[in-house]
Amino acid sequence: MLKLHEEAKWIVSHAWSFRFLVLAAALSGAEGILPLFMDHPPLPRRIFAVVVFLIIVSAMVARIIVQRRPPEFLPPSPEPAPTPAPSPATDLMNQAAAIANAATAANTAAITAQAAQ
């Protein structure tokens, strides 16, 4: 199943590769139609074919070159995820850890003081 490109609007309005392909299609159509209505086209068929070929090659090159996008076509920057509010269990665990750290510090200070005597 075919699916339209997410950035089709930008590609159609700004991508050089698309512009070159539109020009190549127009010239290819002119190459086939002009001889039907004119005895002597403005350009010989070989020159016209070379011009169309060069435009198609330009479209291929433009397709792989990175093109700067105007700000209105840049993807939106991701919003930072909200930090969840701490639950009561988390608060109790943090308080218990703080008490344990204080007790460890007090024991360490007592042992250090006894060793110094």
Give the C-alpha separation, 17 to 7, whole Å.
14
Query: For the chain, how long is the longest CA-to-CA vector?
Result: 117
What pLDDT shows up at residue 71? Answer: 66
Residue pair 51/27 in contact (Cβ under 8 Å)? The answer is yes
Question: What's the whole-model pTM score?
Answer: 0.49
Give the C-alpha separation, 56 to 24, whole Å.
6
At 105 the three-state DSSP class reads helix
What pLDDT shows up at residue 114? Answer: 78
Taking only the tens place, the pLDDT of each residue in 93-103 is 788 888 888 88
Taking only the tens place, the pLDDT of each residue in 56-72 is 888 888 888 877 766 66
Residue type, 113: A
